[in-house]
Structure 1
Amino acid sequence: MIATPILALVTDVKTAILLTLAPNIAVNLWSLIRGGNWLDSVVRFWPVAGWMLVGSALGTLVLVAMDPNPFRLLLAATVVLYLLSDQIKRINWNWIGRHPKASGAGAGLLGGLLGGTVNVGGPVMMIYFLELRLAPVVLVQAINLCFLLGKGTQAVTFALLGMLGPNLLLLSLPLGITALIGLRGGMWLRERVAADTYRGWLKGLLWVLSILLVVQFLRALN
Structure 2
Amino acid sequence: MSDLSWLAWSGLALAAVLVGFSKTALPGINTLSVAVFAAVLPARPSTGALLVLLLVGDAFALWTYRRHADWPTLIRMIPAVLVGLAAGGVFLAFAGDAVVRRVIGVLLLMLMGLTLWQRGRRPSDPGVPARSSWATAAGYGSLGGFTTMVANAGGPVMSMYFLAARFPVHAFLGTAAWFFATMNVLKLPVSIGLGLITPHILLLDLILVPGVVAGAFFGRWAARRIAQKTFDLAVVAVTILGALYLLI
User: TM tier, shorter chain?
Assistant: 0.5 to 0.7
> Following TM superposition, by how much is the alpha carbon of 1:20 offset from its aligned partner in structure 2, in angstroms?
0.9
> Residue 106 in 1 paired to residue 135 in 2?
no
Q: Is 1:45 the equivalent of 2:78? A: no
TM superposition score normalised by structure 2 = 0.62
Instruction: Work out whether 1:179 is the aligned partner of 2:212.
Output: yes
Give the aligned length. Answer: 206
TM-score (norm 1): 0.68
Give the C-alpha shift of residue 88 in structure 1: 4.7
- Quote the sequence identity (%): 24
Pair 1:76–1:120, CA change in 2 (3 A): same
The answer to whether the 8 A contact 1:24-1:151 is kept is yes
SS of 2:117's partner is coil
Matches within 5 A, 1:1-222: 1-11=31-41, 13-35=43-65, 37-38=67-68, 41-42=70-71, 45-49=74-78, 51-56=80-85, 58-59=87-88, 62-63=91-92, 67-74=96-103, 77=106, 81=109, 85=112, 88-91=115-118, 100-188=133-221, 195=230, 199=234, 206=241, 210=245, 214=248
**Cα distance 1:165–1:57, how it changes in 2: closer, same or farther (>3 A)?**
farther
> Do the aligned residues in 1 keep the contact of 2:64 with 2:220 (CA within 8 Å)?
no
Q: CA deviation at 1:138?
A: 1.5
Q: 1:48 to 1:191 in 2, by over 3 A?
A: closer
Q: Is the 8 A contact 2:61 2:174 kept in 1?
A: yes
- Letter of the structure 2 residue corresponding to residue 138 of structure 1: A
Residue 141 of structure 1 deviates from its aligned partner by 1.0
1:75-123 superposed Cα distances (whole Å, 9 cap, x missing partner): 6556x739x93675125786xx675323222211211111111111123
Q: Which runs of 5+ in 1 are unaligned?
A: 215-222
2:62 maps to a residue whose letter is: L
Quick check: 19-28 or 98-107, which moved more?
98-107
Residue 48 of structure 1 and its aligned partner are, at CA, apart by 1.8
